[in-house]
Amino acid sequence: MNQVTTANEFTGLIRQELDIESLLRTTLEYVLGRSGPTNAAVFLPTTSGDFSLGAYVNYDCPKETVDILLDQMANVVAPRFEHAERPVHLASKRALDETLGDDAQWLGDSHVIAYACRSGEETLAIVVLFRDCRNPFSKLFLDQLVTVGDLFASQLARVIRIHHRHLPKEKWGRIGDPEPEQRDDYGDLAA
């Protein structure tokens, strides 16, 4: 019953979101409302095959190091979870070390949840949530995250289809692609 309530609430919030930035903001607000105080980042794939930061919430990371941390996570952590079918919950230092190796040091003694939001075979976003291990994520939240992640991926795929509907599918590109050059009626590049 809880999953049905979560699905209905979240669907009602994102159904009309047709802008990626608004969709990311609404999703993070909803997830953080369920998880409580948490550091959160959403990484989006780029055309070069790596990930870039799409949105984040800094709960307790030092301001002077958060940019470096998020860059490192985009380069190393996000790609590790690109093919995950379900949320990965790393609830101990040992689990972090086994999964991330030397790169686990960036997350210290955190509980981490990473989730690949997928549409078909394509990963549209990687959501990473992390906070101090003294405040673990609940089983109920993990269950809710599966529902939210699937709905977020569906809406993100819808936004991409809408924004690229005038192009053949093979020219859609991926989130983070540079905008195509616009030409005016005379064939010149528009400003």
> What does the pLDDT look like over 147-160, one tens digit per residue?
999 999 999 999 98
Tell me, what's the pLDDT at 42?
A: 97
Q: Looking at the domain assignment, is residue 180 inside a domain?
A: no
pLDDT of residue 164: 56
pLDDT at res. 170: 55
Rounded distance between C-alpha atoms, residue 15 and residue 29, angstroms: 15
User: Which stretches of the chain score pLDDT less than 50?
Assistant: 172, 174-191
CATH of the domain at 49: 3.30.450.40
Taking CA 177 as the corner, what is the angle to CA 26 and CA 174, rounded to the nearest 5 degrees? Answer: 70
CA-to-CA distance for 56 and 102, rounded, in angstroms? Answer: 23
- 90: in domain: yes
The per-residue pLDDT for 183 is: 40
pLDDT (0 to 100) of residue 128:
96
- Residue 165 has a pLDDT of 55
- Domains identified in the chain, total number: 1
Task: List the one residue out of 56, 63, 62 whose CA is nearest residue 77.
Answer: 56
Query: Domain for residue 188, yes or no?
Result: no
Alpha helices (runs of H) in 36-138, residue ranges in sequence order: 63-72, 78-80, 93-100
Identify each DSSP E strand in the chain by its residue range.
39-45, 51-57, 88-90, 110-119, 122-132
pLDDT of 189: 43
In a domain, 63, yes or no: yes
Strand, helix or coil at 155? Answer: helix
Q: Which residue has the tokens 């930035």?
A: 21
| Structural domain of 36 | 2-171
25-31, long-range: CB within 8 Å, 24+ apart, which pairs? 25/55, 27/148, 27/152, 28/55, 28/57, 30/148, 31/127, 31/129, 31/145, 31/148
